[in-house]
Structure 1
């Protein structure tokens, strides 16, 4: 697993995208966001992909983010898509998407 983060650093570092303030985690998250956003746009037309993407990334483990981020370099596979969809179905992810999309938090604060 250690090779993958180094691969990400090398790929983004050589492209000039990685500076001293950017961590390997930031690079992996950025790559993962690109992959997740593409999957969400393809699978759920009409859904605000950026909101869903943020919720999926926020509810993924570090190893899942690295796995998904790798697809930014190697290409998205069925396994990558399945992982993203699995994370999207988790209760915390569903709640996050509902709150951010429907403004449930705003509604509850007005009612409370």
Structure 2
């Protein structure tokens, strides 16, 4: 209840930032487990940027309980999208070469 009241007072931009941060915390362990060796932060950013609003909301919800099978499914689906793969190729792979 307190969180809901706090979010109600937030601006739309700060709510979006809060939701994306929560979603990142659910995506991070999935990326680390499913895609070992991939630079974690760029990969998480690519998945978040490639996700739909509803997917981000679902991932943010998963941050409360921890990753579930649905979290893994969502991250995998988003990671396979052309825009996410392009992001990973430009942001993730070069980080491996540094």
TM-score by length of 2: 0.80
Report the Cα distance in structure 2 between the residues aligned to 1:67 and 1:20, rounded to whole angstroms: 20
Are 2:36 and 1:48 equivalent residues in the alignment? no
The gaps in structure 1 that reach 5 residues or longer are 1-6, 14-18, 104-112
Report the Cα distance in structure 1 between the residues aligned to 2:92 and 2:75, rounded to whole angstroms: 18
Bigger fraction of residues in helix: 2
Extract structure 1 runs of 4+ deviating beyond 4 A. 19-22
The gaps in structure 2 that reach 5 residues or longer are none
Aligned residues: 90
Calculate the aligned-residue CA RMSD, in Å.
2.1
TM-score by length of 1: 0.71
Aligned to 1:61: 52
Higher relative contact order structure (alpha carbons within 8 Å, sequence separation ≥ 6): 2
